[in-house]
Amino acid sequence: MIKFDENDWVADRTKSFDSSGIRKVFSLAGKLKNPINLSIGQPDFDVPQPVKDSLIEAVQSGKNGYALTQGVPILRDKLQAEVDSEYSHEDREVFVCSGTSGGLVLAMLAMVNPGEEVVFLDPYFVMYDSLIRLVGGVPVPVNSYPKFRPQIEDIEKAITPKTKMLIVNSPANPTGIQFNETEIKQLADLAREKNIVLVSDEIYRLFSYDEPFVSPAKFNDQTIVIDGFSKSYAMTGLRLGYVHGPHHIMEAMLKVQQYTFVCAPHPIQIAGATALDTDISHLVADYKKKRDFVVDGLSKHYEISKPNGAFYVFPKLPWGTGDEFVAKAIENNLLIIPGKIFSNQDTHFRISYAASDNVLDQGVELLKKLSMR
């Protein structure tokens, strides 16, 4: 009998990155009794009732088979109408995918060749670096500390003849920073000037608190926009997203979807169409209050760049390493995420204020105490 080394069975591409550190914290959360959980990046409100009713009705009425790869008309047509109304681009098509993460996977597989570079700001959403490596690309993080805003000169310096793509995430995970219109236009113009793909991850666009959200697609009609329903409508487990951009890129991504995800779940797409007609402005207003509560409560104890979107705060560590500080927090039944999971630096930690007011109150009080070693 031939004996194989277990490593012979695993593709090399899986060895270029580690499992998400966030998942490890989530696993730990399941072992603690009633933790003060400020680690989870998902809304604490429930899926709106009309959306749940629509999903149940779709399942009960037999809408459980395959959907069109590009999305069912009831959802895709609504999305296309919204996109056409916002941008009025001659060449901008929409298709439905399995979550924003699914859209990112498709974008990387459809556009990034082995050896090509992808530029993004550090700190960054954990999936960017790993997905780029998965398709054989080269991650190029650009330091945005301490304010977490794009410095166009630094980004331009990072672009080489091998650069294929620039990823923009605003409002951003993990920092909560939303770029202003001038910054967005600079990024859009730079991508056009350098003839590189601009991908805009807009999953938090509705969680915009202090100024209107602006997409780089407003200034660059070749921008690939990836968005979804997970954060806005608390549909994180239902895996529904969408992508829009020029026809030839959408066709390439759809071809990849056909042979990977096949389609987003049919009944959930029908529920998504209902979600588009659901007003969540009162929930966004509530999250703005949560943001203010956390920032006001911690600003005298931590160095914080005030977030103006999403539902995260990214304070600077008051002492020690991220692992040391998070370990002390866990000893006190508080769950937060070390910043090095999102960064090449180990100087900050992430708080998610997508939690009840009671949990936030407990968390803020405990973090005040932890700020003094």
Which domains, from first to last, does the chain contain?
6-47+280-368 (3.90.1150.10), 65-275 (3.40.640.10)
Helix (H) or strand (E) holding 21, with range, is helix 21-29
Q: What is the DSSP letter of 48?
A: P
Cβ(314)–Cβ(148) below 8 Å: yes
Mean per-residue pLDDT, 26-35? 71
Please give the mean pLDDT across all residues of the chain.
Answer: 94
Give the residue from 258, 279, 259 showing the smallest Cα distance to 96.
258
Mean per-residue pLDDT, 310-323? 96
DSSP for 105-166, please give it: HHHHHHHPPTT-EEEEEES--HHHHHHHHHTT-EEEEEE-TTTT---HHHHHHH--TTEEEE
pLDDT for res 19: 65
The one-letter amino acid at 80: Q
DSSP for 58-117, please give it: HHHTT--SPPPTT--HHHHHHHHHHHHHHH--SS-EEEEESHHHHHHHHHHHHHPPTT-E
Mean per-residue pLDDT, 294-302? 98
- Written as six digits, the tokens of 253 are 């991504």
In Å, how far from its chain's centre is CA 285?
20
Query: Is it the case that residue 20 has pLDDT exceeding 70?
Result: no
Q: What does the pLDDT look like over 170-180, one tens digit per residue?
A: 999 999 999 99
Assign 10 a pLDDT band (cuts: 50, 70, 90): confident
Q: Which residues have a Cβ under 8 Å from the Cβ of 197 and sit 6 or more positions away?
A: 111, 164, 165, 166, 191, 222, 224, 249
Assign 85 a pLDDT band (cuts: 50, 70, 90): very high
Cβ(322)–Cβ(339) below 8 Å: yes
Q: What is the DSSP letter of 238?
A: G
Direct distance between the N- and C-terminal alpha carbons of the chain, in angstroms, rounded to an integer: 58
Residue with more model confidence, 25 or 32: 32
The one-letter amino acid at 164: K
Mean per-residue pLDDT, 156-161? 98
Assign 321 a pLDDT band (cuts: 50, 70, 90): very high
Give the residue from 40, 311, 270 showing the smallest Cα distance to 173.
311
pLDDT for res 13: 83
Rounded-to-integer distance, Cα 166 and Cα 140, Å: 9
Rounded-to-integer distance, Cα 58 and Cα 54, Å: 6
Query: Is it the case that residue 87 has pLDDT exceeding 70?
Result: yes
Rounded-to-integer distance, Cα 308 and Cα 145, Å: 16
Mean per-residue pLDDT, 280-302? 98
